[in-house]
Amino acid sequence: MKGNIIEFGEFFHKNKFIPLILHWFKKNQRNLYWRKNRSLYLTYLSEIMLQQTTVKTVENKISEIINIFPSFNSFKTKKLEHLLKVWSGLGYYNRAENLFKAVTIINNIYHGELPDNRDSLISLPGVGKYTSSAILAIGHNKKSFPVDVNVKRLIQRLSGLKLKDDEVENILNSACKKKISYRSLAESMMDFSSIICKKNNPNCSKCIFSNFCESAFKSFENNKNIKRNNKQIDFYLINSPLHICFIKKPKFQYYKNFIHLPSNLDEEFIANLKLKNKEKIKSFKFVITNNLFQINVYKFNLEKFNINNSVWIEKSKTKQLALPTLFKRILN
């Protein structure tokens, strides 16, 4: 298949790409929580949660968040720490921070209504081009073509070309000759690329486009090795008879807005304690973004002390804290 982007759009139109995928979608769409309980708030929340997180993980978590934050308005009576606590386990906690900031803006400036134009959406913390496109198409059913890695892969395989995001959008725009449900088109491409045109081992035998797909029945294997930075860090579990010591301003610069367990990076804090007779109680590997940490945990028993930056939490209350998964694993 050769030609410019407009010609590709015409080719897709001629081969009935849009009506075919919409027809497939009616019979095969995924039964996702935010589709069964559709609202602008759920569309927005799910799109933020889906950033760098799998659909399955979000499916397992979203109802827990909805129980505490059922609407934009519900944020008015809550604090960031409440959201961070229920967000625990999803990772990428800056998303939760941006979510809280963005909903505050939605409530204060847009009177609790999710904006329906790109400029206003992109002005919200944590909302970029893709998320704004998804909200416009899926939430507001406006003409917009959200292009994530899955949709891009689908169009690239069909065309046999390596394309930029805006080129994929232009192809879809050219293929779209009449008014349709832009919500259904966006969701159908997401589902088709997840169920049929998968990254590895696409199911070409069940593909409705195999008669004109430039990549049909080719082998796609995952040979990409993820390169991670290997690092090591020691965390200190400092116990008094009834309490555990945390610190407010750690040198470990992940998980902002959380209290932390002290680590070997907190040199000044640790030096003041003059810790002796440390006992190594566990060791494990833990991935944070592109870093693979070797985590070592040492236990110390001390009488409760008062040093700037220290926070003592009753052992019986640690499970109620908003803590990232790493610290939960250490405490457990």
pLDDT digits (tens, 9 = 90+) for 187-236: 999 999 999 999 988 999 999 998 889 898 887 765 455 678 899 999 99
What pLDDT score was predicted for residue 178?
85
Checking if the pLDDT of 298 tops 80, the result is yes
* 55-74 burial: b if 16+ Cβ within 10 Å, else e: eeebbebbeebbeebeebee
CATH of domain 5-206: 1.10.340.30
Checking if the pLDDT of 33 tops 50, the result is yes
What pLDDT score was predicted for residue 279?
83
Query: How much of the chain, in percent, has pLDDT values that exceed 90?
Result: 63
Q: What is the pLDDT of residues 128-148, one digit of tens each?
A: 999 999 999 999 999 999 999
- Provide the whole-model pTM: 0.79
What pLDDT score was predicted for residue 2?
45
pLDDT mean over 272-282: 81
Q: What is the pLDDT of residues 44-82, one digit of tens each?
A: 999 999 998 999 999 999 999 999 999 999 999 999 999
What pLDDT score was predicted for residue 195?
95
Task: Answer whether 17's CB lies under 8 Å from 197's CB.
Answer: no
Checking if the pLDDT of 122 tops 80, the result is yes
User: Which segments of the chain belong to CATH 1.10.340.30?
Assistant: 5-206
Is the domain spanning 229-331 CATH 3.40.50.720? The answer is: no
264 against 218, higher pLDDT: 264
What pLDDT score was predicted for residue 225?
58
Checking if the pLDDT of 270 tops 80, the result is yes
Mean residue pLDDT of the chain comes to: 90
pLDDT mean over 78-102: 92
User: Which segments of the chain belong to CATH 3.90.79.10?
Assistant: 229-331
What pLDDT score was predicted for residue 229?
87
Pick the most confident of 154-163, 180-189, 251-260, 321-330.
Answer: 180-189
What pLDDT score was predicted for residue 1?
46
Residues assigned a catalytic role:
47
What pLDDT score was predicted for residue 55?
94
Q: How confident is the model at residue 261 (pLDDT cuts 50, 70, 90)?
A: very high
